[in-house]
Chains A and B, each alone.
Chain A
Amino acid sequence: MTLSALDADVIVDQLNAGELTATDCVQHFLNRIESHNPDLNAFISVSQSALEQAESIDQRRKAGQTLGCLAGLPIAIKDGICVAGQPTTAGSRMLENFTPPYDATIVQRLKSADAIIIGKTNMDEFAMGSSTENSFFGPTNNPWATDRVPGGSSGGSAACIAGRLAPVAIGSDTGGSIRQPASFCGITGLKPTYGRVSRYGLIAFASSLDQIGPMTRTAKESALLMSVIAGFDPRDSTSSKEQVSDFLTTLETPLKGIRIGVCRDHFDEGLDLEVKTKINDAISVFKQLGADIKEIELPHTQSAVAAYYVIAPCEASSNLARYDGVRYTFRAQGEDLEEMYRNTRGQGFGDEVKQRIMLGTYALSSGYYEAYYLKASKVRRMIKQDYEEAFQNVDLILGPTTPTPAFKLGQHTQDPLAMYLADIYTVSANLAGIPAISIPVSPSSTGLPIGLQLQGRAFEENTLLRAAHQFQNTTLWHTTSPSEPWRTQT
């Protein structure tokens, strides 16, 4: 079996057993990036020092030194997460030449585990988008059908896993930015509970919704990464001190008796018929695994997209104020300070970002604050309550991750509302702060991946991973890869 086909946990085992060197492993994926990135545009930058780090790990291993639990494993990081000394652009012209002087906490943790950061992946500018078409560095193509989007905003991370340009990747999810691209690219993507993974070093889009998580082929790989990146961080005041579950050891605990809720409202209007069928097929698989399927209601989730598109832009309008041309960003010239500000922000930000900054600025303005921000915050609390009530009767909530499979490049760029509806099933988990995972089910008749979403109680990522893992033990959808050379699919 070639390295590309191996799961990350198997790669780590082989590295530990001395059957594989980190250098060979890194070289293999660097080669794949070199040959395939021109077609996919999944990476914005590739690490110049990955091979050197791999050699050092091989030497340390040879010398008998104790190594971290991911020693030698290459990993791709979304470009909105700071890696010291490596360009970190957040997909924006504004940060085209920004090199952070510090590591995000999760990067520090991955480095301590001796993982090797192989590159930074493409994304919608400042994570605002559902297709990765809003990147200043050009769109990423979906390896399953290169004329289609990989989803977004973590489209680069999703595409690089589907295309096996890296064994595992990290993304971030504000309204579905891990799960929706995972669904479009046929991989596994976990958005952890808000506060489970430190946000320190994640370039903020909407601070109360942003969460970093793993994007991998299998649930087990996600569990492996979670065991490294999850946990309290004193540098992030919103990170939780809640004890971290053992994600790996509970994976095999049988699902018999687990109660899975299905909200039938989420299977109605707007849901692609084929997606509906495939999700229903997956429900049967869970039944066979011993799950007890129950109908539930989440009445306020129908307002989730509306609330999300008030709260997220409000926070973004403030979070992005720092990009003013004064310090580390792109700077346009101007006759005076005000003109410099206008030109810098006018030229440095793309249209979608500007649109959301304007939305948020408006919604926070005096006279509108109550009608928008406060009202949206109330809806948010009601959605949270919906989930709390639902989780009294069920352990997990199951549904489609997205209403349709991957759409075509350019299909929704002129229709923001259609684009925003790609998040319809994912935003609620961010508003409620609960964890959710997307896993691949049987693809569409045209061979496009379809994703199933499981949502769980706060801090019960282990239940999500366990259910996903056992689903993957009985199905093979997660193991299929797009054929090479990549083809378009009409």
Chain B
Amino acid sequence: MNPTSSSQPNDRHAVKFNDAKIIIGLEVHVQLDTDSKLFCGCSTRFGEDANSQTCVVCTGMPGSLPVINQRALELSIRAGLSLNCQIARSTKWDRKNYFYPDLPKGYQISQFDQPICGPGHLEIDASESPSKSRRIRIERAHLEEDAGKSIHDESSRRQDSKIDLNRTGTPLLEIVTHPDIRTAAEAKAFLSELKLILNYIDVSDCNMQQGNLRCDANINLHIPLGEEQIATPIVEIKNLNSFRAVERSITYEAQRQFEVWQEHGLTIADAPKQTRGWNDPTQTTTLSREKEDSADYRYFPDPDLIAVKIEESKIQQIQSQLVQLPSELRKSLVEQYNLKPEDAAVIVSQGRGVVDYFLEVADGCQDSRIANNWIGQEVLRQLNESNQTIQQYPVSPQQFTELLKLVIAGTLDQTRGKEVLNEMVEHSISSQQAIQQLGIKPVDNNELVTLCEKLIDENQEVVEQIQAGNQKAIGMLIGKARKINPNANPGLIKAMLSEMISS
């Protein structure tokens, strides 16, 4: 191939990688949370015995016909509205023809020129940008059926290939962005926010381990060279199935394209789009094996299905049932609950369940900061350690509110409060029961005086240190006091000791 660019190697080597702009567009396949498949009644459950979730329709039996799953249409509209997309008033189905053993009909039912969701956009966090956020435009989102799974048994001498059609026909929404993404971190931020939104609106669990969210990334570089702006050939990295893979593959690919350009000077006009795959063990992208002739999918309207008319009233009905989106919740946590933006982000990123839990506790105890401190740290840590969801958490929001009220009132100090919480979690009991089990009771003033006097008597060296100005030493006395009587309030002890020592 002869580079059409007239650039000289020396000029190219003078350019720095950081001068290049990375142009990234994503295609995200999301599996919709329907009970049944897109065109038949088979279950979409994951992990069942191979080929147990199939019927004459999804195995492409001669004579069988597809019937659209209305639920999938609704979920797509819901997703589209949440991504600010225009919803098509008429959408149709097209056949994408290609041969593959796990594609039973020899074509995939997809949407070619009339996708259910038209242009939209998504705002993502971008701390380096002056507005702190960036708008990524969405080109379209269309519905299509998934293919099956080929399992190649390399161990057998005959190199058997097996096909599992359980996944065949599960509904996918393919969301395509404009090439508006500029860094690997932005790509990750886009995917995180997309995943969060789809979770909130119950459109998809986006479980990446189960392949319910898969991503292809299109990348090239725009490199300034003198007066010119050089575009490198576009590369599509296929089937990225973790955020880490997205981030790392983009970082790697940008660097690779830059180096290849420096060496050969090839531009977008010199080379066709290339498909590469992410090789996780080597952390590199590698050229995918491609057929000699480029694929011609021979799209044409599927004559077995009729165009779907979507009434305005239907769109409005779905719009009216939309729950608050993560961005709206973050805003309300900051503005109405006085949380720091980063704290609000942590709570919201945990999903709607944690947000609801927080709201109930914050409203109940009337102190959103305390609620955030306890939920953002203790609860999330406990959930993480026990690998539980908030729905499985043994302490109800009401019980948690009762506990925080005691802490706010000073009846329990932070340390004792956490002990009580641990007891509540461990035994699934109320705060009152936990307090009883831990033997927590108020200590009367005379008892405290006696305790403090005893400590001063027995720890003269420490007292001298304090008197010499080492205020920190008082902590040692407080610790000893708590060993003798765990119910002693450290604040009160501290005040009392200070007074006694200084007088």
A321 near B97 (CB under 8 angstroms)? yes
B61 within 8 A of A: yes
Interface size on A, residues (CB 8 A): 43
B438 within 8 A of A: no
B65 near A199 (CB under 8 angstroms)? yes
B300 near A373 (CB under 8 angstroms)? yes
A101 near B61 (CB under 8 angstroms)? yes
Q: With A102-B56, A318-B106, A365-B298 in contact, is A234–B67 under 8 Å at CB?
A: yes
Residues of B within 8 Å of A206, CB to CB, are 303
A104 within 8 A of B: yes
Which stretch (A52-60, A324-332, A395-403) binds chain B? A324-332
Q: With A321-B105, A324-B106 in contact, is A82–B303 under 8 Å at CB?
A: no
| Nearest B-chain residue to A360, judged by Cβ | B298
Residues of B within 8 Å of A98, CB to CB, are 62
Residues of A within 8 Å of B303, CB to CB, are 206-208, 238, 315
Whole-angstrom CA separation of A88 from B56 in the bound complex: 15
A238 near B306 (CB under 8 angstroms)? yes
Q: With A237-B306, A315-B303 in contact, is A322–B60 under 8 Å at CB?
A: yes
Residues of B within 8 Å of A324, CB to CB, are 99, 101, 106
Residues of A within 8 Å of B62, CB to CB, are 82, 88, 90, 95, 98, 100, 203-204, 322, 328
Residues of B within 8 Å of A337, CB to CB, are 101
Within 8 A of A (CB), among B70-104: 95, 97, 99, 101, 104
Residues of A within 8 Å of B65, CB to CB, are 199-200, 235-238
Whole-angstrom CA separation of A200 from B39 in the bound complex: 14
Interface size on B, residues (CB 8 A): 27
> A239 CB to closest chain B CB, in angstroms?
9
| Nearest A-chain residue to B68, judged by Cβ | A237
B300 near A318 (CB under 8 angstroms)? yes
Residues of A within 8 Å of B56, CB to CB, are 100-102
Whole-angstrom CA separation of A450 from B305 in the bound complex: 37
Whole-angstrom CA separation of A47 from B134 in the bound complex: 69
Instruction: Out of A100, A208, A317, A364, name the residue touching B63 (CB < 8 Å).
Output: A100
> A373 CB to closest chain B CB, in angstroms?
6
A201 within 8 A of B: yes
Which residue among B59, B104, B163, B303 has the maximum number of chain A CB atoms within 10 Å of its CB? B303
B296 within 8 A of A: yes
Whole-angstrom CA separation of A317 from B95 in the bound complex: 11
B66 within 8 A of A: yes
Residues of B within 8 Å of A202, CB to CB, are 63
Whole-angstrom CA separation of A206 from B106 in the bound complex: 15
Whole-angstrom CA separation of A320 from B97 in the bound complex: 11
> Chain B binding site: helix, strand, loop or mixed by DSSP?
loop
B67 near A237 (CB under 8 angstroms)? yes
Whole-angstrom CA separation of A95 from B62 in the bound complex: 9
A328 near B298 (CB under 8 angstroms)? no
A322 near B296 (CB under 8 angstroms)? no
> A307 CB to closest chain B CB, in angstroms?
15
A322 near B105 (CB under 8 angstroms)? yes
B99 near A82 (CB under 8 angstroms)? no
> A473 CB to closest chain B CB, in angstroms?
37
> A311 CB to closest chain B CB, in angstroms?
9
Whole-angstrom CA separation of A102 from B65 in the bound complex: 12
Q: With A104-B63, A202-B63, A365-B296 in contact, is A326–B97 under 8 Å at CB?
A: no
Within 8 A of B (CB), among A152-209: 199-204, 206-208
Residues of B within 8 Å of A201, CB to CB, are 63-64
B63 near A321 (CB under 8 angstroms)? no
Q: Flag A95-112 by CB within 8 Å of B: 1 or 0 each.
A: 100101110100000000
Q: Flag A395-422 by CB within 8 Å of B: 1 or 0 each.
A: 0000000000000000000000000000
A309 within 8 A of B: no
A327 near B300 (CB under 8 angstroms)? no
Q: Flag B297-312 by CB within 8 Å of A: 1 or 0 each.
A: 0101001111000000
A369 within 8 A of B: yes
B67 near A235 (CB under 8 angstroms)? yes
B101 near A318 (CB under 8 angstroms)? no
A341 within 8 A of B: yes
> B456 CB to closest chain A CB, in angstroms?
88
| Nearest A-chain residue to B66, judged by Cβ | A237
Within 8 A of B (CB), among A239-277: none
Residues of A within 8 Å of B17, CB to CB, are none
Within 8 A of B (CB), among A54-105: 81-82, 88, 90, 95, 98, 100-102, 104
Whole-angstrom CA separation of A199 from B303 in the bound complex: 12
Whole-angstrom CA separation of A328 from B163 in the bound complex: 13
A314 within 8 A of B: yes
Residues of B within 8 Å of A88, CB to CB, are 62-63
Whole-angstrom CA separation of A101 from B55 in the bound complex: 10
B107 near A321 (CB under 8 angstroms)? yes
| Nearest A-chain residue to B161, judged by Cβ | A337
> A326 CB to closest chain B CB, in angstroms?
5
A322 near B68 (CB under 8 angstroms)? no
Whole-angstrom CA separation of A236 from B57 in the bound complex: 11
> A87 CB to closest chain B CB, in angstroms?
12
Instruction: Out of B97, B101, B107, B304, name the residue touching A238 (CB < 8 Å).
Output: B304
Q: With A237-B306, A327-B59 in contact, is A321–B66 under 8 Å at CB?
A: no
Whole-angstrom CA separation of A459 from B106 in the bound complex: 33
A321 near B67 (CB under 8 angstroms)? no
Residues of A within 8 Å of B64, CB to CB, are 102, 200-201
Residues of A within 8 Å of B61, CB to CB, are 82, 100-102, 328
A303 within 8 A of B: no
B106 near A322 (CB under 8 angstroms)? yes
Q: With A101-B61, A366-B296 in contact, is A321–B306 under 8 Å at CB?
A: no
Within 8 A of B (CB), among A331-360: 337, 341
Whole-angstrom CA separation of A369 from B60 in the bound complex: 25
Residues of B within 8 Å of A341, CB to CB, are 99
Residues of B within 8 Å of A322, CB to CB, are 60, 62, 104-106
Whole-angstrom CA separation of A234 from B69 in the bound complex: 12
Residues of A within 8 Å of B296, CB to CB, are 365-366
Within 8 A of A (CB), among B298-354: 298, 300, 303-306
Whole-angstrom CA separation of A364 from B96 in the bound complex: 11
Residues of B within 8 Å of A203, CB to CB, are 62-63
> A241 CB to closest chain B CB, in angstroms?
12
Instruction: Out of B63, B97, B106, B163, name the residue touching A82 (CB < 8 Å).
Output: B63
| Nearest B-chain residue to A207, judged by Cβ | B303
Residues of A within 8 Å of B298, CB to CB, are 317-318, 361, 364-366, 369
Q: With A101-B61, A322-B62, A324-B106 in contact, is A237–B97 under 8 Å at CB?
A: no
Which residue among B56, B65, B95 has the maximum number of chain A CB atoms within 10 Å of its CB? B65
Whole-angstrom CA separation of A337 from B150 in the bound complex: 13
| Nearest B-chain residue to A204, judged by Cβ | B63
Q: With A200-B63, A235-B65, A237-B305 in contact, is A364–B300 under 8 Å at CB?
A: yes
Q: With A82-B62, A98-B62, A318-B300 in contact, is A326–B306 under 8 Å at CB?
A: no
| Nearest A-chain residue to B61, judged by Cβ | A100
Residues of A within 8 Å of B107, CB to CB, are 318, 321
> A341 CB to closest chain B CB, in angstroms?
6
Within 8 A of A (CB), among B257-315: 296, 298, 300, 303-306
9 contacts between A and B (CB under 8 A): A199-B65, A204-B62, A206-B303, A207-B303, A237-B65, A237-B67, A317-B97, A324-B106, A369-B300
B-contacting residues of A (Cβ < 8 Å)? 81-82, 88, 90, 95, 98, 100-102, 104, 199-204, 206-208, 234-238, 314-315, 317-318, 320-322, 324, 326-328, 337, 341, 361, 364-366, 369, 373
10 nearest CB pairs, A to B: A321-B106, A208-B303, A207-B303, A364-B298, A201-B63, A203-B62, A322-B60, A82-B63, A326-B101, A203-B63
Inter-chain pairs besides A237-B68, A321-B99, 11 sampled, C-beta below 8 Å: A82-B63, A88-B63, A100-B62, A101-B61, A104-B63, A234-B67, A237-B305, A317-B97, A341-B99, A364-B298, A366-B296
A-contacting residues of B (Cβ < 8 Å)? 56, 59-68, 95, 97, 99, 101, 104-107, 163, 296, 298, 300, 303-306
